[in-house]
A and B are shown apart, each in its own frame.
Chain A
Amino acid sequence: MSARNTAAGGGDGATGEMPGDSLEGEPQGLSVSLSGLMTPASATGMASGMELPRKRKGSMDNPETKSASNLEEDMEDDQGRSEGDDQHLKIKCVREPHSQIEKRRRDKMNNLIDELAAMIPTCNPMSRKLDKLTVLRMAVQHLKSLKGATSSFAEANYKPAFLPDDELKHLVLRAADGFLFVVGCDRGKIVFVSESVSKTLNYSRTELIGQSLFDYVHPKDIGKVKEQLSASELYPRERLIDAKTGLQVQAELPVGAARLCSGARRSFFCRMKYNKVTVKEERDFQAGASKKKESQRYCTVHCTGYMRTWPTRQLGTEGEAETDKESSHFSCLVAVGRVHPHTLPQANGEIKVKPTEFVTRYAMDGKFTFVDQRATTILGYLPQELLGTSCYEYFHLDDLPHLADRHRKVLRSKEKIETNCYKFKTKYGSFVTLQSQWFSFINPWTKEIEYIVSTNTVISGKSNPGGSGDKSEQPSSSKASEDDAKKSQQVPIIPGISSASGMIYAGCIGTQIANEIMDYNRMNSSPSSGNTSPFSLLQDKSPLALAQASSNVPNGEVTDVEMPGKSSSEEEARGGAFTAGESLMEGSSQLDLEGVPGLGALSTDEAAMAVIMSLLETDANLGEAVDFDEMHWSL
């Protein structure tokens, strides 16, 4: 066709003048298919020759307007560009030579022709490949024959549709397990229901037509369905969403007829009765074995549809008597109900419970340097409350030997050490059973233990193999008594603990252990490694001014400072911790503490805090938690 010829010529011309310009490959298909405005132009395009002069002119435009004119001519030429709506070409690089585009188009066309040939029954038996024209001609014939079979031209309102309605319905039912139902709006009478209802609800359609829909809807959903069917009287207000704010707007709108107008959409789901009549049941019934079960089975049906009104005259024998209200209009809901496909895959009743865990980190001597947020829900303490305190203060007495042993072990080995179940004291005095996994993290450069990471799992319902079973509600008093009793036990394990006034310094345990390890390490390794580094890790600088006063207090003095009246072992432990801090600072300190003499001995903030706290408690007789707001903790 001449049109094509010149279009191709124009295209070539384009490449000649502007190499790599493949603009004509891109937009035309889109504009062709999208705009219906092209009709007159394309119709004439089909005709011969008329386009010729125009196209020629187009191809002779100067390069600057080339793209525009090409666009134009291509829009009119729908035949030449058979790659039309080939999306791939639009996406590809613009710089591709025109010949490549053409080749691709030809290939695609050839593929399509081949596929078409395969679909046509008359083409198939042919052994040799048929040429394009013949294939197309046979396709035309085939389509004509199909058309004749499915519908007749004689129909008054012949509406060509890719898929006639009955087949469409068939496909819809293939896609979803559903049925069409039409219910009158006033009484909910089922006017029509499709045959497929027997597959979904197991009722035959004759059972349902003429019945009230509400008989088949779950009693609790009747209100909802009524709402959907009804006019505005049952709807006290329109619930609209304001597009800007996304909030609901209560509006008293004069709704009335508007909501019931044809086409108004409805979408809801409800439970519908499911007729469970199986052979087995019949047998049971006959045998009279089981009592008749009144409980109905329901299935969730997702209904989507629209409202439709008719003048009642058209309904003929099905004339509704309720015309008085609607004044000769019968409105109903036409909806497709689909058995809800989105049913949950039910778990087998096993709830996968993730064990309650939290992570803590200890310094070498067992002081908390990091506490996971999750610990608060389990232990009751805020992380700040634990930091700087020794873990031994919270371990149940019975578990102390075991845990001390583990502590030693983890400091010595590079593996993960598991503890047995042990009891950890919560804020409120009770104990929670934990089981932990410890391992020491060694700084790869300094080869020192930076901290011990502890993953603690809450164990419920297990008896503690290592410790005592009783949960003390008043820890201080009972512990005191236990302390006295078990003091002797402690001594052989933890040597060197001063036990003035019969109190135990739980915190000392940790520090002693750490000391041991460090001594051991110092003996084995070079002294330059700065063995005291475990403390310099995580914490920021806290106000240390207060600490300086007590920095050099030796062991003995600490115990004097403690108020004898205090029975809480925590405070003593803190005192102990303080001592520990001091004793550990024999090595070099990495903390720069300017102008704080003596505090050089305390390189850890935790130790400093411990000191501060003990002082505060001492001075102000405070046993309560200190206000940490001024302390700048980095958590």
Chain B
Amino acid sequence: MDSVAPGKKRVSSERRKEKSRDAARCRRGKESEVFYELARELPLPHSVTSNLDKASVIRLALSYLRLRTLLKTDVLDVESELDSQWNSSYLKALDGFLMVLSGDGDIVYLSESVSKCLGLPQVDYTGHSVFEFTHPCDHEELREMLAQRTGLSKKTKEQHTNRGFLLRMKCTLTSRGRTVNVKSASWKVLRCSGHIHTTDGIKKVVVEENNMSSSYLVLICESIPHPMNIEAPLDSRTFLSRHTLDMRFTYCDERITELLGFAPVELLQHSVYEYYHALDSDHMTKAHHYLFVKGQVCTGQYRLLAKAGGFAWAETQATVNL
């Protein structure tokens, strides 16, 4: 009796295990199938979608749906044939890439051109949090940019939706154009400018359930050209100069003579601050501060003193060269 019962139990327990294993296998099989289907439905080329792991598939699906919701609320103008012809040129004309961030920092959309700028393909970013790819010291600033400053000033009805800042992101491109592993990525300074928008059309229900903030930030991110690697030719109104870290000229392009009247030799060893307009000096000091913190900066417009007196408006892109 006793010998039989344990045997039976053993068999039944084994069978149970087997059943559960089979059930699990079946479930997993179905799951994989559905994932595969979902991946196929994503509006991306098959070569990309077939490589995705499950989490990425969901992430991309999420992003796509979010994007849809975002755009649903915006009324798109009816376009003429002529207009549509040129639609693809917008992104091409821009030097950088387009990035759409949700209110809590998730990358909802990133245009394909990101791979030319930062190296990683589009799908690697989409759905992830932007904080995974940005320099930790910039996170604070980024959060501020994402936050909607509600009730900023009651006097002005429209809030400032403009956003412009410098962001350091991981870049897997080497100077020779090769890609490296994300682990050995370097930081690239991007000049981001854009606007923050709200999706007012979203139903309240959805918002509450999602905990999704109804704001999103659309940015155009461009890299600042490194002086060693300028793609677009410098025009006749641009001059190049080099400085020590305390802003004294060590070299200046001779173009400055026709623009401001100084001969390059006159400028050497003088601090560039001697040539800034007084009203701009605060701003320029801040820009220099950014330069040292981030590595590159794009100043706004400021005035430079000309030799014969008077000022000329200028804008500078600066890079720290170590």
Q: Contacts A90-B183, A160-B43, A180-B90: A344 and B300 contacting too (C-beta < 8 A)?
A: yes
Contact of A341 among B193, B233, B253 (CB under 8 A): B193
The answer to whether A84 touches B54, judged by C-beta atoms less than 8 angstroms apart, is yes
Q: Does A34 contact B (CB under 8 A)?
A: yes
Counting chain B CB atoms within 10 Å of each CB, the highest count among A34, A144, A227 belongs to: A34
Q: In whole angstroms, how far apart are the Cα atoms of A85 and B181 in the complex?
A: 12
| Residue A223 lies at the interface, judged by CB distance under 8 Å to chain B | yes
Taking CB atoms and an 8 Å cut-off, the chain B residues in 80-118 that contact chain A are 82-84, 86-95, 98, 100, 109, 111
Closest beta carbon of chain B to A23's beta carbon, Å: 14
> Are B240 and A78 in contact, CB atoms less than 8 angstroms apart?
no
B79 at the interface (CB under 8 A from A): yes
| Contact, CB under 8 Å: B93 / A176 | no
Question: How far apart are B234's CB and chain A's nearest CB, in angstroms?
Answer: 5
Give the number of residues in B that approach A within 8 Å (Cβ atoms).
Answer: 112
Docked Cα-Cα span, A351 to B277, in Å, equals 10
- Which one of B90, B94, B98, B123 has the greatest number of beta carbons of chain A within 10 Å? B90
Assess whether A82 is in contact with B54, with CB atoms less than 8 Å apart. yes
Q: Which residue of A lies closest to B27 (CB)?
A: A133
**B322 at the A/B interface (Cβ < 8 Å)?**
no
- CB A80 to nearest CB in B, in angstroms, measures 8
Q: B240's contact among A81, A118, A248, by CB below 8 Å, is which? A: A248
Indicate which residue in A34, A160, A165, A352 contacts B45 across the interface (CB closer than 8 Å): A160
Residues of B within 8 A of A306 (CB): 92-93
Give the interface size bracket for A toward B: 35 or more
Q: How far is the CA of A246 from the CA of B226 in the complex (A)?
A: 10
Q: Which residues of B contact A548 (CB under 8 A)?
A: none
B270 at the interface (CB under 8 A from A): no
The reply to whether B98 and A38 contact each other, CB–CB distance below 8 Å, is no
Flag if B43 contacts A33 (CB, 8 Å).
no
Whether A446 is near chain B, meaning CB under 8 Å from some CB there, is no
Determine whether A42 belongs to the interface, using a CB cutoff of 8 Å to chain B: yes
Which of A119, A265, A268 has the most B CB atoms < 10 Å from its CB?
A119
Contact A139 B54 (CB under 8 A): no
Cross-chain contact B93 with A137 (CB below 8 angstroms): no
A140 vs B179: C-alpha distance when bound (angstroms): 34
Binary contact track A328-357/B, C-beta < 8 Å → 1, others 0: 000000111010111111110101100000
| Given known A-B contacts A109-B55, A269-B315, A341 and B164 have beta carbons under 8 A apart | yes
For A347, give the chain B residue with the smallest CB separation. B279
Give the complex CA separation of A81 and B232 in angstroms.
43
**B242 partner residues in chain A, CB cutoff 8 A:** 246
Query: Is B236 in contact with A5, judged by CB distance below 8 angstroms?
Result: no
Q: Mark B207-249, 1 if CB is under 8 A from A, else 0.
A: 0011010000011101000011111111111001010000000
Q: Could you tell me if A42 and B65 are in contact, using CB atoms closer than 8 angstroms?
A: no
Answer whether A195 and B77 are a contact pair too, CB < 8 Å, given A162-B43, A171-B218, A246-B321. Answer: yes
Q: Are B79 and A166 in contact (CB under 8 A)?
A: yes
Known: A42-B50, A46-B36, A143-B42. A167 touches B71 (CB 8 A): yes
Q: Would A172 and B58 count as touching, CB distance under 8 A?
A: no
Given contacts A162-B126, A347-B279, contact A79 B232 (CB under 8 A): no
Q: Does B146 contact A (CB under 8 A)?
A: no
Q: Given known contacts A82-B55, A195-B77, is B41 in contact with A140 (CB within 8 Å)?
A: yes
Distance A266 CA – B235 CA, assembled complex (angstroms): 10
Q: Is A169 an interface residue (CB 8 A)?
A: yes
On chain A, the residues within 8 Å of B37 by CB distance are 140
CA A140 to CA B27, docked complex, whole Å: 17
Segment of A237-245, A511-519, A523-531, A623-631 in the binding face = A237-245
A147 to B44, CA, bound (A): 12
* Of A42, A124, A224, A338, the contact of B206 (CB 8 Å cutoff): A124
Q: How far does the Cβ of B185 sit from chain A's closest Cβ, in whole Å?
A: 11
Pair A136/B236 contact, Cβ less than 8 Å: no
Q: Is residue A286 within 8 Å, beta carbon to beta carbon, of the partner chain? A: no
Q: CB within 8 A of B181: which of A30, A113, A182?
A: A30
B62 to chain A, nearest CB (A): 6
A342 to B165, CA, bound (A): 10
In the bound complex, do residue A84 and residue B56 qualify as a contact, i.e. CB atoms below 8 Å apart? yes
**In the complex, are the beta carbons of B32 and A241 less than 8 A apart?**
no
Contact (A124, B209) CB under 8 Å given A136-B38, A341-B164 = yes
Say how far B33's CB is from chain A's closest CB, in angstroms.
8
A220-262 Cβ-contact flags toward B at 8 Å (1 or 0): 0001100110000001001101010011100000000001000
Contact of B109 among A163, A224, A241, A336 (CB under 8 A): A163
Judging by beta carbons under 8 Å apart, are A169 and B195 in contact? no
Question: Once bound together, how far apart are the Cα atoms of A243 and B83, in whole Å?
Answer: 41
A227 contact set on B, CB distance < 8 A: 235-236
Enumerate chain B residues within 8 angstroms of A174, measured Cβ to Cβ.
Answer: 74, 194-195, 197, 218
Residues of B within 8 A of A269 (CB): 315
- Known contacts: A1-B29, A116-B62, A168-B91. The answer to whether A163 contacts B67 by CB under 8 A is yes
Interface residues of B (CB under 8 A from A): 25, 27-32, 34-38, 41-45, 47, 50-56, 58-59, 61-69, 71, 74, 76-77, 79, 82-84, 86-95, 98, 100, 109, 111, 120-124, 126, 128, 132, 162, 164, 179, 181-183, 193-195, 197, 205-206, 209-210, 212, 218-220, 222, 227-237, 240, 242, 251, 253, 278-280, 282-283, 298-302, 315, 321
A residues with a Cβ closer than 8 A to B are 1-2, 4-5, 29-30, 32-34, 36, 38-39, 42-43, 46, 48, 78-79, 81-88, 90, 105, 108-109, 112-113, 115-116, 118-120, 124, 132-133, 136-137, 139-140, 142-144, 146-147, 159-163, 165-176, 180, 182, 192, 194-195, 223-224, 227-228, 235, 238-239, 241, 243, 246-248, 259, 265-269, 300, 304-306, 334-336, 338, 340-347, 349, 351-352
Give 3 nearest A-B pairs by CB, closest first: A84-B53, A82-B54, A143-B41
A-B contact pairs, 8 of them (CB 8 A): A4-B32, A136-B38, A140-B41, A147-B43, A162-B64, A241-B230, A248-B253, A304-B94
